Amino acid sequence: MDLPTCPSCKQSVLDEDVENCPFCGAPMRGKGKPAPARAPVEKKPERPPTDAKTEEDPFEVDRAVLKRAIRLSRKPAKGRMLRVVCPMCETPGFAPDNAAGKEVRCANPDCLVPVFTAPAPRKSDRPSEQEKPRSTTPVVVGTVLGLIVVAGVGYYLLRPESEPQPPVVSPGARVAGKPDGRTEVTDGAGTGQEGGTGKKTGGEQTRATRNDVPSEEEILRRALARLERTVLDRDRNRSPDYCRRLLAEALVEMGQFETARQHIAQFARLRPPQSSYAVLPIVRLGWLQLAGNRRAEAAKAVDQAMQVAESLPRYGRFPIHAAMQLAALLIALDRTQEAEQWLLGHQHSGPIALHAVFVEAAESLRLYDVDRLAANAPVFTWDAPQTVGVAIVLGANGLVDPATRWLVRLRNAESRAEAFAELATSLLYRGEPGSALQKVVDQAKGRSAGEAAFVAARLATTFGGTDPEKAAEFARQAAAVLEQADVPPAFRLPDLVGIYRWKENDVGPQFVMAKASAELARFHARQGDAAAAWTWVQRGLAYLRAVAPSTVATDQRDRELAQGGIDAVAAQLRSALELESESEARRAAIDYRANLRNLQRRAVLRQRLTAILLREAAEWGLLSNVLDELQRVAGAEDVDVREELLPVEFLGYRLSVLAQTEQQKQIVRKLAGGTRFRPDVVWAAERKTAPLCDSGAIDDLVATLQRLAPDPTISEDDFREWKEVWMLRLACRLAARRSAEDALRYVRGFSRQLVWQEDAYRTVAAYASLHGAAAEVWRFIEEQDTVPPTGVAALCRGVIGGLTARR
């Protein structure tokens, strides 16, 4: 059966009686008409565009980009162990491992440019097991053999008559950074080639151009560029902030003040802020402004430095350096009271303060030789090391008038004499005219004869090895002053009533006289005049015996007090003084006991200084004289003369080591009386390692120093500070007596002591560059791939410091 068909759409329809086609709606009868068109679908009106911002923000980030970027977390967590550092604000964050090479969002919400691409991981050189290529060994071997044959024939036929010269780096070359920390030398056009011979990177480039020594100006430029890169290098970088501090200091030293200020400002923008790192760069900027007669700018700099110095740590050597530099700049600006308050709040003592003063003096004086400064340190340790350090900084800047105005305000005679003396020696190191030096000597003489003698004696011992004539003149001046003063008689401990009536007096001037005599004794011993040296040793001992009784006498009185008790002393005083009441007698007995304690403390100080002077004299070659003196005081019947000195300051141990003849050894054993002396581990270590340094046995020297461990006789902190000073002294000794290469190789051996290693790198690089070996240091920097960024920064900073001082 045929079904009816629509004349319009030609579709078959099941219902025969339908009038209109159910598919297109056309009538089933008549001529076909086209199906009516469907009404168009209305489009939704487009959203009107938003108004444009009135001000365009250059740091505006697309919201879609923000949503798409992987947000970094501030702390590592499971699944987020990939450490990524924002290149804008340097805030570290942690992302999933698969975020490498993708856009990530900074963890700092205040970052100006929060979206950046996480660094892609290094691809392994070895293919994975899944994609390991098929073996091509036969093809490779055949190709290599063929190339060798062709190369041999070509070389035989075309060999040159002379060896080709190594490529020369153009003066306009720059050092470009590589992701792996190595360097590439490219010419000014950025071709990435050296003299048309192709690229050389890292050690290859240096070895290829070993014979081409760059000029000092070129080394200076390369060192600054390399130092800048360490700030951004995050691979094995212990402290990018330390690198930035060294960069800011170098920029100030090279006169690039605006760039230095930008880096100084960056410390406050870090999260968390690291403002304390800005103290030294700001102070150095203030010194240069003051030298350029821009006092107002220097005053602003010191105000800024004092503000950021509030965040200085309380421990370590860095705050000591900052305190000395800042106090010296305040004194230079005639703000002495502020400087004194600042020093009062940042006082340090002991080996750490001595360490800081030696390093500060080496850099401020532009000597960079810690060994020379430490070897010429006074016989008796400085009473106030930081005061001495401030005086050295002022002298290094040639500021005699502000320094002397400050020093005359000091009340302690010993501290004042020490500071006057080191101010004078710093002026001589600088080569200042004699008028400036004479002004310091006159000011010291105006305070006391002992201070004038001590200043002249310190000048004699400091320059005895470099300028004998000048040193001898200073020694004569010191001797003339001391010989005019009478040596007071030895202190005799008074009786019971005398101790009660004793009033404590200022013995500082007599201690200064003793210290001046000790310096003269060392000067004559170094000149080979043993008789004159022992004469001044005896004079120093006489001054020490005049300020306090012997410990034998005070200990005897203390035992009597302990046996009889305070009541027995009160009864004796009541009878001797004819006191009316027991309460008065008891108060008198209490005063007696307090005075006896003060005399005991003074006696212990006399004993310690006496032992030190005799110990040093034995090392100056006066061992026989020292042994005779010890026998005399040990066998004296008078308790005011008798002294027990061998157990003090390791005197007995050192004498037992220094004794050479059998007679000397018998005397030491007799004086010891069977007592076993505590070993002086510090002195023994110095005697053991110094010959290794002199012979250039670098590996043995490093191994021996690394094995040194603290002894119960010395605290761990003091031992560590002594060890670091001694290690630094040996590094300077190697650079001065052997070569910069030996010194740098020695410092490289202490890879586990990064902070010390950085200080040593800086000092050795500066010393070598100052003495014309900057190219040797630069070659070390280029060839060593294992030195971390902080070490590279320290080396570059040292090169810049040494070369700028050399100009």
For 707-734, write each residue's pLDDT tens digit: 998 888 788 889 999 999 999 999 999 9
767 in any annotated domain: no
**Residue finishing a domain among 638, 672, 706:** 672
Residue range 353-378: average pLDDT?
95
Residues 562 and 430 in one domain: no
What are the residues whose beta carbons fall under 8 Å from the beta carbon of 430, sequence distance 6 or more?
A: 365, 395, 396, 398
Q: Are residues 173 and 186 in contact, defined by beta-carbon separation less than 8 angstroms?
A: yes
Residues 12 and 96 in one domain: no
Tell me what pLDDT residue 142 has: 55
Tell me what pLDDT residue 688 has: 96
Residue 140 has pLDDT above 90, yes or no: no
Nearest-angstrom CA–CA distance, 610 and 604:
10
Q: Which of 65, 109, 52, 108 is nearest to 84 (CA)?
A: 108
Residue 684 has pLDDT above 50, yes or no: yes
Residues 338 and 453 in one domain: yes
158 in any annotated domain: no
- The count of other CB atoms within 10 Å of the CB of residue 760 is 27
First to last CA, the chain: 117
Nearest-angstrom CA–CA distance, 72 and 104:
7
Among 66-75, 187-196, 404-413, name the most confident range.
Answer: 404-413
Among 125-134, 340-349, 775-784, name the most confident range.
Answer: 775-784
Residues 540 and 458 in one domain: no
Burial (Cβ within 10 Å: 0-12, 13-18, ≥19) of residue 557: buried
Residues 349 and 409 in one domain: yes
27 in any annotated domain: yes
Question: Using 50, 70 and 90 to split pLDDT, how confident is the model at 104?
Answer: confident
Per-residue H/E/C for 199-252: CCEHHHHHHHCCCCCCCHHHHHHHHHHHHHHHHHCCCCCCCHHHHHHHHHHHHH
The sign one gets for the Cα dihedral 28, 34, 36, 42 is: positive
Residues 478 and 607 in one domain: no
Bridge partners (DSSP) listed for residue 177: 183
Nearest-angstrom CA–CA distance, 452 and 454:
5
Structure-model confidence comparison of residues 204 and 502, the more confident one: 502
5 in any annotated domain: yes
Tell me what pLDDT residue 128 has: 41
The domain in which residue 88 lies consists of 65-117
What would the two tokens of residue 609 be?
């200084």
539 in any annotated domain: yes
Question: Using 50, 70 and 90 to split pLDDT, how confident is the model at 120?
Answer: low
663 in any annotated domain: yes
For 259-291, write each residue's pLDDT tens digit: 999 999 999 988 888 889 999 999 999 999 999
What's 311's DSSP letter? Answer: G
For 637-664, write each residue's pLDDT tens digit: 999 999 999 999 999 999 999 999 999 9
Structure-model confidence comparison of residues 42 and 13, the more confident one: 13
Tell me what pLDDT residue 165 has: 31
Structure-model confidence comparison of residues 108 and 499, the more confident one: 499
Residues 524 and 481 in one domain: no
| Total domains in the fold of the chain | 4
Residues 430 and 555 in one domain: no
Tell me what pLDDT residue 609 has: 97
Q: Rounded to 5 degrees, what are φ and ψ at 105?
A: -115, 130
Residues 27 and 110 in one domain: no
Alpha helix ranges (H) inside 60-184? 63-68, 137-158
**Residue finishing a domain among 463, 485, 507:** 485
For 424-471, write each residue's pLDDT tens digit: 999 988 887 778 888 898 888 888 899 999 999 999 998 887 888 889
Residue 400 has pLDDT above 80, yes or no: yes
Residue range 389-403: average pLDDT?
95
Q: Are residues 426 and 396 in contact, defined by beta-carbon separation less than 8 angstroms?
A: yes
Residues 406 and 537 in one domain: no
Nearest-angstrom CA–CA distance, 703 and 746:
10
Residues 638 and 525 in one domain: yes
Residue 480 has pLDDT above 70, yes or no: yes
Residue range 417-422: average pLDDT?
96
205 in any annotated domain: no
What's 99's DSSP letter? Answer: G
Q: Are residues 504 and 548 in contact, defined by beta-carbon separation less than 8 angstroms?
A: no
Residue range 53-65: average pLDDT?
48
Q: Are residues 17 and 4 in contact, defined by beta-carbon separation less than 8 angstroms?
A: no
Burial (Cβ within 10 Å: 0-12, 13-18, ≥19) of residue 676: exposed
Residues 335 and 374 in one domain: yes
The structure's pTM equals 0.74
274 in any annotated domain: no
What is the pLDDT of the chain when averaged over all its residues?
Answer: 83
The number of angstroms, rounded, from the C-alpha of 526 to the middle of its chain's C-alpha atoms is: 32
